[in-house]
């Protein structure tokens, strides 16, 4: 049995990941922005108030884990936001917000929890295909693309530093998923959060212990293909 911590567990993919890991017997810590009575009712440890943009909140989480002598076999940086935008009407504060959550959030959380990671732990980053430079064929979505592209760099950079400790990193696209993040008109072709969580878990299960200098891969989890950076 392993211990898994998921950020952004209030709803969507993060919530489904918590339920799926719990259902197969792992010890799950759901790091939520708010409370989650529903996850608590399942017996999942809920850590409310974990805003990944807040140094104090993330430090507080690290302290509570240390005080309860909790160490992690798997950290999943899932929390994210997406704000629609268009050239000619860009909102630079919105772009900054997305960078705070999507780019600096996973860095802040991973750095704060370094001492909680087991020697052969894994760290997963749920970024997005939309952050791929090589796969960008349509433009638009400036804030989300920039923040997720930079999140990929955060993940690769951390992978090198984590690899020196034997900790493996993996970068994951969950596919298009019907959550609060997706538009109504996108949802009919989107997979459920439960299906996305199952595909992510299957990929994370395959991550091998790492060697120093190893490059992580950027996986389209449901399609089992590699996405160009
Ligand atoms: N849905 C898709 O098609 C899709 C595709 C590619 C990648 N992704 C990525 O998958 C991840 C999960 O997205 P989702 O579709 O499940 O979206 P979602 O339903 O909107 O869930 C996002 C979660 O992140 C939390 N969150 C937002 N800001 C936060 C912050 N500052 N600190 C901590 N938690 C915060 C939200 O909390 P609240 O509920 O309280 O706001 C929510 O629980 C994101 O990183 C997203 O970019 C999603």
Model pLDDT, residue 181: 94
CA of 9 to the centre of ligand 1 (A): 8
Model pLDDT, residue 183: 75
Q: What distance in Å separates the CA atoms of residue 118 and residue 71, rounded to the nearest whole number?
A: 6
CA of 101 to the centre of ligand 1 (A): 9
Model pLDDT, residue 43: 96
Residues 6+ apart with CB under 8 A from 93: none
Model pLDDT, residue 214: 83
Spell out the per-residue pLDDT of the chain, length 229, in tens: 899 999 999 999 999 999 999 999 999 999 999 999 999 999 999 999 999 999 999 999 999 999 999 999 999 999 999 999 999 999 999 999 999 999 999 999 999 999 999 999 999 999 999 999 999 999 999 999 999 999 999 999 999 999 999 999 999 999 999 999 997 777 778 999 999 999 999 999 999 888 777 889 999 999 999 999 9
Model pLDDT, residue 15: 98
Model pLDDT, residue 37: 96
Of 39, 103, 48, 47, the C-alpha closest to 77 is 103
Ligand 1 surroundings by CB, under 6 angstroms? 7-8, 10-14, 33-34, 50-53, 78-82, 101, 126, 128, 173-174, 176-177, 179-182
SS (H, E, C) 87-113: CCCCCHHHHHHHHHHHHHHHHHHHHHC
Q: What backbone phi and psi angles, to 5 degrees, belong to 192?
A: -75, 160
Of 78, 56, 62, the C-alpha closest to 47 is 62
CA of 79 to the centre of ligand 1 (A): 5
Q: 216 with 155: CB under 8 angstroms?
A: yes
Give the closest residue (by CA) to ligand 1 atom 42: 8
What DSSP designation does 160 have? H
CA of 208 to the centre of ligand 1 (A): 26
What DSSP designation does 191 have? B
Most ligand 1 atoms within 8 A of CB, residue of 6, 80, 97, 227 to mutate: 80
Both structure tokens of 60: 């507080």
Model pLDDT, residue 212: 78
Q: What distance in Å separates the CA atoms of residue 168 and residue 162, rounded to the nearest whole number?
A: 7
The domains of the chain are located at: 3-226
Q: 162 with 123: CB under 8 angstroms?
A: yes
3-state helix, strand, coil in the chain (%, to 5): 40, 20, 40
CATH topology of domain 3-226: Rossmann fold (3.40.50)
Model pLDDT, residue 213: 79
Give the closest residue (by CA) to ligand 1 atom 23: 8
Model pLDDT, residue 14: 98
């Amino acid at each position: 049995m392993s211990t898994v911590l998921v950020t952004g567990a209030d709803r969507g993919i993060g919530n489904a990941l918590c339920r799926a890991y719990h259902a197969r017997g792992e010890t799950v810590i759901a790091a939520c922005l708010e409370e989650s009575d529903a996850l608590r009712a399942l017996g999942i440890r809920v850590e409310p108030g974990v805003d990944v943009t807040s140094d104090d909140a993330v430090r507080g989480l690290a302290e509570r884990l240390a005080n309860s002598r909790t160490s992690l076999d798997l950290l999943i940086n899932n929390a994210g936001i997406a704000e629609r935008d268009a050239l000619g009407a860009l909102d630079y504060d919105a772009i900054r917000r997305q960078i705070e959550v999507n780019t600096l959030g996973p860095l802040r959380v991973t750095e704060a929890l370094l001492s909680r990671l087991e020697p052969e732990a894994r760290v997963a980053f749920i970024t997005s295909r939309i952050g791929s430079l090589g796969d960008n064929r349509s433009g638009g979505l400036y804030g989300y693309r920039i923040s997720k592209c930079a999140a990929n760099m955060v993940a690769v950079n951390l992978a090198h530093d984590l690899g020196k400790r034997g900790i493996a990193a993996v970068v994951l696209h969950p596919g298009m998923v019907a959550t609060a993040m997706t538009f109504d008109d996108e949802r009919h072709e989107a997979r459920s959060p439960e299906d996305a969580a199952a595909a992510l878990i299957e990929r994370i299960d395959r991550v091998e212990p790492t060697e120093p200098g190893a490059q992580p891969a950027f996986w389209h989890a449901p399609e089992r293909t590699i996405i160009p950076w």
